[in-house]
Structure 1
Amino acid sequence: MANIPLTASYNSFSGADIVAGLDVPVLRGGTLSFEHYVFGELQTISYSLYRPKRPVRAMGFVNPKGFAYGPRTLAGSLIFTTFDRYIVYRALEQYNAAGYRYLADEMPPFHVTITMANEYGQQAAIRIYGVTITDEGQTMSIQDIYTEQTMRYLARDIEPLHPGNMFSGGGAVR
């Protein structure tokens, strides 16, 4: 009989344990690289994966023989607290200095890195690659104490939540 452990260790993280960063592409001397910006303004991030699956049927059988997999779509939303400037301008400082005024849907694809560390020393990270903004909005109201910048996105890939620090070799960087 297999020896089953009777105890296990589970770690969790709260919103206070999380730091969000965006890796934005910048051009330096004709070379494209990524500049990392920590965004304390990012208050909510969500993602979802969708992949259509269709049954494969054969004549004379009621049940499907298997399933055909369609293309995967990765999408989600980003919600920022707005202070005194448009959030995109902070991420694209280099372009703004040159006089360009981008909107979020014009941003080049960027990466989002969420790192977590709790008071017990446990760490975890998640990374979303190739984020491109599809639409954005802003909410402000006399009923709310703060203003929000909301954005929805599509992305190319995701490195799901895993233990360890993204930048100390705990996770792969693509």
Structure 2
Amino acid sequence: MNMTTEEYSRTFSSYSGADIVASFNGRVIGELQALSYSVSREVAPIYTMGSADARSYSRGKRGISGSLVFVTFDRDALMEEMKKDYSGKAPAMMQYQTFQANAGSLENQILSGLRSRAADGQSTYGISTWDDQMTNLGYGPSGDFNPDNLTGFYDPEYADQLMPFNITVTMANEFGNRSGMEIYGIQLLNEGSGFSIDDVVTAKAYSFVARKIKGIQKKDSLRQEGRASARPVSGDLLR
């Protein structure tokens, strides 16, 4: 029986992790190690008087959740790549931005909640002058109060501050077969990592919820199906 590779590839097609690439809002992040998701739905039994058995089952809300695992090299890959989608910075008015901009000034220490000024001018610790300092920022250099002075675009500091994004999973193997799937409206909830002298690789994990999943669908093959490749003769190998 003479079975060729084409006959096997036309029957079955599978993908390994090496055949899969994931893009985040159209941006490929090569540090991704693993992606997992689950879809769950509430199911509740319905009972009536006179019977201990359920008459029926009612299906309720659906939830989609999962996790992302990234290998850590010299940066937080997800945060660094997703920050590129944030443009324009307002004056430093958020706690962490003002503290990073000039941690030594009294005003910035007040905003960071680390320090306040007492009525006698002495420096104390607390948030007693938070309201006054935020009001001064609202008035700005012009002296006219504008609430826009207190809001603006800021680079996220934690993963849970990232705006919702989509993930597209693209699959292609050496036979030319292709598939793909999408996860929509991902919002990150938790993040965690750790370091140990016994760990050869450092990883960082995120948990997320999503709004919708479009399952794996087969795409057009890169190779023409139903046509076997011609076997080269010995002379062709030497050309």
TM-score (norm 1): 0.77
Matched, 1:15 2:25: no
Matched, 1:158 2:213: yes
Question: Counterparts in 2 of 1:22-171, with a 5 A limit?
Answer: 22-23=24-25, 36-87=26-77, 88-95=79-86, 98=89, 100-164=155-219
Letter in 1 for 2:32: L
Highest Rg: 1 or 2?
Answer: 2
* CA–CA distance in structure 2, aligned partners of residues 153 and 94 of structure 1: 19
Letter in 2 for 1:105: D
* CA–CA distance in structure 1, aligned partners of residues 49 and 171 of structure 2: 52
Deviates more, 1:54-63 or 1:126-135: 54-63
Residue deviations 1:47-103, cap 9 Å, x none? 011112011122334432221112111001000111211221222124377462431
TM-superposed deviation, 1:140: 2.4
Between structures 1 and 2, the one with greater strand share: 1
% identical equivalent positions:
37
* CA–CA distance in structure 2, aligned partners of residues 101 and 15 of structure 1: 30
Letter in 2 for 1:150: A
DSSP-derived class of the 1:12 partner? coil
Q: 1:97 to 1:86 in 2, by over 3 A?
A: farther
* CA–CA distance in structure 2, aligned partners of residues 18 and 69 of structure 1: 34
* CA–CA distance in structure 2, aligned partners of residues 16 and 69 of structure 1: 38
Between structures 1 and 2, the one with greater helix share: 2
* CA–CA distance in structure 1, aligned partners of residues 27 and 67 of structure 2: 18
Runs of 4+ in structure 1 deviating by more than 6 angstroms, as ranges, are none
TM-score (norm 2): 0.57
Letter in 2 for 1:116: M
What is the RMSD of the two structures over their aligned residues, measured on CA atoms? 1.9
Q: Which runs of 5+ in 1 are unaligned?
A: 1-7, 24-35, 166-174
Q: Which runs of 5+ in 2 are unaligned?
A: 1-9, 90-153, 221-239
Cα contact 2:29–2:81 (8 A) shared by 1? no
DSSP-derived class of the 1:72 partner? strand
